[in-house]
Amino acid sequence: MKQKITDYLDEIYGGTFTATHLQKLVTRLESAKRLITQRRKKHWDESDVVLITYADQFHSNDLKPLPTFNQFYHQWLQSIFSHVHLLPFYPWSSDDGFSVIDYHQVASEAGEWQDIQQLGECSHLMFDFVCNHMSA
């Protein structure tokens, strides 16, 4: 594998990519692999239960939908669902969230990134990458 990587990098960088560079790259890749392996299991199994929901489906009088969902999830769902798949929560122009305007933002009417982060502290998160409907 190292030789294959070396061959590709030699082709790209014209021989300026040295053995020292390669060793640093391999060390970083191995470190990342260990971290990823430690943080998650490799495959799904019967213990995985996924809740799929839109980010704006949980409402209360005093909070936006995402913080409301966080409270509800912590109180009622956390012991049941190991994963939460949030359907598009980005600002959107049409198609119920599937015509994304800005992938870097959370729709202000739903909440903010802090709400997503808080949910991620107690569950595995999944999101849609909507590449077939992009707004200009």
Taking only the tens place, the pLDDT of each residue in 91-133 is 888 777 778 888 899 999 999 999 999 999 999 999 988 776 5
pLDDT, greater one: 26 or 53: 53
31-63 as b/e: b if 16+ CB within 10 A: eeeeeeeeeeeeeeeeeeeebebebbebeeeee
- Greatest distance between any 2 Cα atoms in the chain: 64
Query: Are 82 and 37 a contacting pair, CB within 8 Å?
Result: no
Taking only the tens place, the pLDDT of each residue in 77-98 is 999 999 999 998 988 887 777 7
Mean pLDDT score, 9-36: 84
Query: Which band of pLDDT confidence, cut at 50, 70 and 90, is reported for residue 74?
Result: very high
| HSE-up of residue 18 (Cα within 13 Å, Cβ side) | 1
Residue 6 to residue 2: CA distance in whole angstroms = 6
Mean pLDDT score, 5-25: 83
Radius of gyration, CA atoms only, the chain: 21
Taking only the tens place, the pLDDT of each residue in 29-60 is 888 888 776 666 667 888 899 999 998 999 99
Give residue for tokens 């890749």.
29
Q: What is the pLDDT of residue 33?
A: 82
Domain boundaries, the chain: 2-39, 50-127
Residue 21 to residue 51: CA distance in whole angstroms = 44
Residues 6+ apart with CB under 8 A from 59: 65, 68
Q: What is the pLDDT of residue 9?
A: 81
